[in-house]
Amino acid sequence: MLARRTVPATPVLIAVLLLVAMLSMAKTVLAPLTFALLVIALLWPMQRRMQRIVPRYVALLVSLFVVVMAFVVFAWIVAWSFGQVGRWVIADASRFQQHYEEIRLWLEDHGIVVAVLSADSFSTASILRAVQTVSSRVNSAFSFWLIALTYVLLGIMEVEDFERRIAGMRSQVARKLLLDGSRQTAQKLRRYMAIRTVMSIATGLLVWLFARAVGLPLAEEWGAIAFALNYIPFIGPLVATLFPTMFALIQFDSWQSVLAIFLGLNLIQFTIGSYIEPRVSGNALSLSPVIVLFSVFAWGYLWGIFGAFIGVPISIALLTFCRHHPSSQWVVELLEPVARATRHHHRPRSAARFGQPRLPSAFRSFPRG
């Protein structure tokens, strides 16, 4: 009987480190390409339906117009909301610095030394430097959008040809993996982005209404910021909660009012993110919170803000492809939520209705969304 071959841990660790280094160094090329693949997955159903009515290149122009308008609207919302908040902060820089000194002295009186920060740390000059940094980030973001749009233009023209090339592959295993994995990944990504967009709109509206109700200035801007940042799980809602809370520290003299604002914003984020969204998305998009948080941090570290934005879609795609190959199904079984696995193991026999036979857990695919 042949002994099983074991792979040493050191070469595997070295390969993983080299892969991480390669992803980080090639972010200028790979990050826009990955984002473009996400856009193509979202855009292709509309492109395919339009091709049945109008010529292919006309449909392509319409699709590109939709993508460009979506980019422009989203970028305008982000720039307008953060720009309004920034102008308000610059106008009240002296007031912010005064409150900062009061908080610093209070902390030092209670034994908390903040010598790292000085009175000059929150000055008009520092704010202007921050604005310059933001401007450079905007320029890099513009180049990112331009490269991604080029990938979308070239990629959406190759979807049908690429599908035909996969269908003509000799390896049946590779053909089935690529076709089924790509189709199901695209379906899941479309559903994920649709749900994320609806939840982001709901979050932005509730934050706007809440800010208006408590009398917090820039209510519309805080709602727009909450809408935009909600696309980044965990980190985005946290930042969207801390920003208006810190702003309320300056605008309101009562700490009870600030605490009420902080609790109200957290209640909105918790209700939508932890209660409504999981029930709307269902099991087909369920990921462990640890995997979601790791995806945001890991891809954000490698590719910056755009990596944090597409980190969860990347994890959805990887787990979907892993489920379609027997040698990697253990990854899905290891990383899927415990509650979901429990429901699979205790599924009643009536689940085999409508011509769906019961299969071993290792060969089950994702529930259809």
What pLDDT score does 369 carry?
37
Is residue 102 included in any domain, yes or no?
Answer: no
| Residue 21 included in any domain | no
Integer angstrom CA distances of residue 228 from 132, 183, 212, 236: 22, 28, 19, 8
* CA distances from residue 73 to 68, 101, 134, 150, 224 in whole angstroms, order as listed: 9, 39, 19, 19, 12
Greater pLDDT, 56 or 105 = 56
* 329 and 181, same domain (yes or no): yes
Identify whether 351 is part of a domain: no
Residues 228 and 206 in one domain: yes
Question: What is the phi-psi region of residue 184: left when phi exceeds 0, alpha when psi lies from -120 to 50, beta otherwise?
Answer: alpha
The answer as to whether 214 is a domain residue is yes
Q: How many other C-beta atoms lie within 10 A of the C-beta of residue 116?
A: 6
* 329 shares a domain with 190: yes
Residues 365, 146: Cα–Cα separation, whole Å: 37
**Based on the domain organization, do 245 and 323 belong to the same domain?**
yes
Is residue 207 within 8 A of residue 271, CB to CB? The reply is no
| From 91-100, 137-146, 189-198, 258-267, the region with the lowest mean pLDDT | 91-100
Q: Is residue 216 part of a domain?
A: yes
Structural domains of the chain, count: 2
Mark 244-256 as b/e (b = at least 16 C-beta within 10 Å). bbebbbbbbeeee
Of residues 279, 265, 189, the one with CA closest to residue 230? 265
pLDDT in tens, 100-120: 677 767 777 766 665 544 445
Write out the two tokens for 294: 């790791």
pLDDT tens digits, 201-242: 999 999 999 999 998 889 999 999 999 999 998 888 999 999
Residues 153 and 207 in one domain: no
Task: Tell whether 126 and 264 lie within a shared domain.
Answer: no
Q: What one-character DSSP code corresponds to residue 171?
A: -
Q: Is 354 exposed, middle or buried (0-12, 13-18, 19+ CB in 10 A)?
A: exposed
User: What average pLDDT is seen over the chain?
Assistant: 80
Verify that 187 and 295 share a domain, yes or no: yes
Residue 318 Cα distances to 32, 223, 311, 323, 331, angstroms: 18, 33, 11, 9, 10
Residue range 259-273: average pLDDT?
91
**Residues 126, 40 share a domain:** yes
Per-residue model confidence as pLDDT tens digits over 151-208: 998 899 888 888 888 888 888 888 888 888 899 999 999 999 999 999 999 999 999 9
Q: What is the pTM of this model?
A: 0.78
On whether both 198 and 313 belong to a single domain, the answer is yes
Question: Does residue 66 lie within any of the structural domains?
Answer: yes
Band (14; pLDDT cuts 50, 70, 90) = confident
15 within a domain of the structure (yes/no) = no
Q: Are residues 263 and 323 in the same domain?
A: yes
Residues 179, 313: one domain? yes
CB neighbours of 319 closer than 8 A, spacing ≥ 6? 287, 331, 332, 335, 336
Please give the Cα distance from 321 to 356 (Å, whole number): 21
Residue 256 lies in a domain: yes
Number of Cβ within a 10 Å radius of residue 197: 13
CB 151 within 8 A of CB 34: no
Distance CA 58, CA 54 (A): 6
DSSP string for 248-317: HHHH-S-HHHHHHHHHHHHHHHHIIIIIIHHHHH-GGG---HHHHHHHHHHHHHHHHHHHHHHHHHHHHH
Give exposure, 32-55, as e/b (b: 16+ Cβ within 10 Å).
bebbbbbbbbbbbeebeebbeeee
280 vs 22, higher pLDDT: 22
Answer whether residue 343 shows pLDDT above 70.
Answer: no
Choose the weakest-confidence range: 291-295, 306-310, 346-350.
Answer: 346-350
Same domain, 132 and 175: no
Q: What is the domain range of residue 51?
A: 27-93+119-157
Helix (H) or strand (E) holding 96: helix 93-109
Of 334 and 85, the one with more pLDDT: 85
Q: What is the DSSP letter of 353?
A: -
Q: What percent of the chain has pLDDT over 70?
A: 76
Q: Measured between alpha carbons, how far is 153 from 172 in angstroms, rounded to an integer?
A: 30
